[in-house]
């Protein structure tokens, strides 16, 4: 892409500014379901009502109202009838948010975080460029591709429409590995620890430090993570952490049927139920849960172990410059696919990291894969998938095929190149 030097200099900030203005204007009045749960938990902590933070109904992920104590807080805040989801984050953040809830209302808080989240996502486009540094792609092309993902993809839409705290985690993970690529190893580990303290899933990304034998980054992760963990216990108390762990355990024992859950486990459960003559579909955007069968939990544990083992085996075949983006893409996909819940917005970082494929395959093959996944995961296609869903979530089936397929391509490309090609490409050399 040939552009003038002046446009090259200002292209990124101009596109970012335009995207931010459009997104903020579009979602300014949109109720933030996920962020409201964080705000209500902060109010509960400020009022000295810790019992309300992790309070749940028996069918706590279903469409019904929340527990009475939570609904009481919502009534005081003028949020009667506002959709309710449970607070499923480490306890410390309820106490961190508590002082803010005494200064600003929930609508102001949501709008301020919306602007902050848009700024974070816009910055993530630049951070991921510095992580991946793809050959055969200009920075201008990267910018257009990155904002195309943010503007058209279903994961980006779901992240923004719910004002999902996952956006902060995505930004922190990208910042951590940008600092890692830049040689600030201790800082990188510390930033990743903060991301893991928001959402536990980034803990697995610390394996990249371990595989690189980068003890400074791993040490930064352990020290900052330990400080945050001890601070959380000191502030919130150990019983609150037991409640949090019990809630995570309860979720892990469920199969969660939702049109935005791109979980292989959910698809396998639905197919198995259909083969047994059972109807398991629920209305779009509603949530229904089933106890997880032992055979399914065992199968998913085995598949997750195989995925992690495959990613670990890739490391000796990669030079340091290629290893970080390849492993980050691989572990991000595995974490999102095989976590307790594979919400659509969890795949936004892997979508932004897709040009990592330029390190591994030909330019043409990389573009074919990227364009195919973006077409399958764009918001208009999601609307079509919803209309096709009847006894099976087509929305989730397509998501699983896209992201699991991308993970398989990533692993197979690296392992096959070393095992079968007599001339090992430079990118795969140790």
Q: Are the beta carbons of 30 and 159 closer than 8 angstroms?
A: no
With 0-12 / 13-18 / 19 or more C-beta atoms within 10 angstroms meaning exposed / middle / buried, residue 309 is exposed
**38 plus 147 within the same structural domain:** no
For residues 268 and 392, membership in a common domain is answered with yes
Give yes or no: residues 251 and 218 share one domain: yes
Q: Are residues 279 and 424 in the same domain?
A: yes
Question: Residues 68, 143: one domain?
Answer: no
Number of domains in the chain: 2
Query: Does 37 lie in the same domain as 26?
Result: no
| Residue 371: DSSP 8-state | H
Residue 378 pairs in a beta bridge with 153
Alpha-carbon span 356 to 366, nearest angstrom: 9
Q: Are residues 187 and 60 in the same domain?
A: no
Contacts with 368 (C-beta within 8 Å, 6 or more apart), sequence order:
none
62, 136 contact by CB (below 8 A)? no
Structural domain of 53: 32-103
Reading phi first (left if > 0) and then psi (alpha if -120 to 50, else beta), residue 277 is in left
Helices (H) and strands (E) in the chain, counts: 19, 2
Q: At a CB cut-off of 8 Å and minimum separation 6, what does 9 contact?
A: none
- 52 close to 134: Cβ distance less than 8 angstroms: no
Residues 270 and 227 in one domain: yes
167 & 195 share domain: yes
Note down pLDDT in tens along the chain; length 430 residues. Answer: 455 555 567 889 999 999 999 999 999 888 788 888 899 999 999 988 888 888 877 666 755 667 778 888 888 888 877 777 888 899 999 999 999 999 999 889 999 999 999 999 999 999 999 999 988 888 999 999 999 999 999 999 999 988 899 999 999 999 999 999 999 999 999 999 999 999 888 999 999 999 999 999 999 999 999 999 999 999 988 999 999 998 888 888 888 888 889 999 999 998 888 888 776 655 555 777 888 899 999 999 999 999 999 999 888 888 777 889 999 999 999 999 997 789 999 999 999 999 999 998 889 999 999 999 999 999 999 988 888 877 788 889 999 999 999 999 999 998 875 543 434 444 443 3
């Amino acid at each position: 892409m040939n552009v003038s030097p002046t446009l090259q200099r200002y292209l990124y900030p101009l596109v970012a500014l335009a995207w931010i203005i459009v997104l903020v204007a579009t979602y300014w009045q949109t109720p933030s379901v996920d962020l409201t749960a964080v705000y209500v938990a902060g109010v509960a902590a400020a009022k000295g009502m810790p019992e309300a933070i992790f309070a749940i109904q028996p069918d706590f992920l279903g469409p019904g109202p929340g527990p009475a104590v939570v609904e009481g807080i919502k009534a005081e805040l003028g949020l009667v009838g506002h959709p309710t989801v449970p607070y499923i984050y480490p306890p410390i953040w309820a106490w961190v948010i508590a002082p803010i809830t005494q200064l600003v209302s929930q609508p102001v808080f949501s709008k301020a975080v919306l602007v902050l989240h848009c700024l974070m996502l816009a910055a993530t486009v630049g951070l991921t460029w510095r992580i991946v540094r793809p050959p055969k792609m200009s920075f201008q092309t990267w910018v257009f591709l990155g904002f195309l993902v943010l503007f058209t993809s279903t994961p980006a839409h779901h992240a923004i429409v719910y004002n999902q705290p996952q956006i902060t985690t995505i930004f922190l993970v990208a910042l951590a590995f940008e600092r890692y690529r830049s040689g600030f190893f201790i800082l990188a580990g510390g930033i990743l620890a903060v991301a893991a303290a928001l959402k536990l899933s980034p803990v697995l990304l610390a394996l990249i430090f371990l595989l690189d034998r980068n003890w400074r980054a791993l040490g930064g992760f352990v020290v900052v993570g330990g400080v945050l963990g001890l601070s959380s216990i000191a502030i919130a108390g150990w019983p609150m952490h037991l409640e949090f762990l019990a809630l995570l355990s309860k979720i892990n024992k469920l199969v969660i049927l939702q049109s935005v859950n791109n979980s292989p486990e959910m698809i396998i459960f639905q197919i198995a139920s259909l083969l047994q003559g059972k109807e398991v579909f629920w209305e779009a955007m509603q949530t229904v849960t089933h106890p997880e069968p032992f055979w399914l939990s065992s199968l998913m544990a085995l598949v997750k172990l195989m995925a992690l083992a495959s990613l670990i085996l890739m490391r000796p075949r990669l030079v340091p410059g290629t290893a970080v983006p390849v492993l980050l893409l691989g572990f991000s996909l595995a974490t999102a696919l095989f976590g307790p819940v594979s919400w659509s917005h969890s795949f936004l970082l892997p979508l932004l990291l897709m040009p990592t494929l330029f390190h591994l395959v030909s330019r043409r093959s990389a573009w074919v894969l990227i364009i195919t996944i973006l077409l399958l995961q764009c918001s208009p296609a999601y609307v079509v998938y919803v209309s096709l869903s009847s006894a099976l979530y087509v929305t989730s089936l397509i998501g699983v095929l896209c992201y699991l397929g991308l993970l398989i391509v990533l692993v197979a490309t690296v392992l096959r190149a070393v095992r079968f090609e007599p001339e090992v490409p430079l990118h795969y050399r140790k």
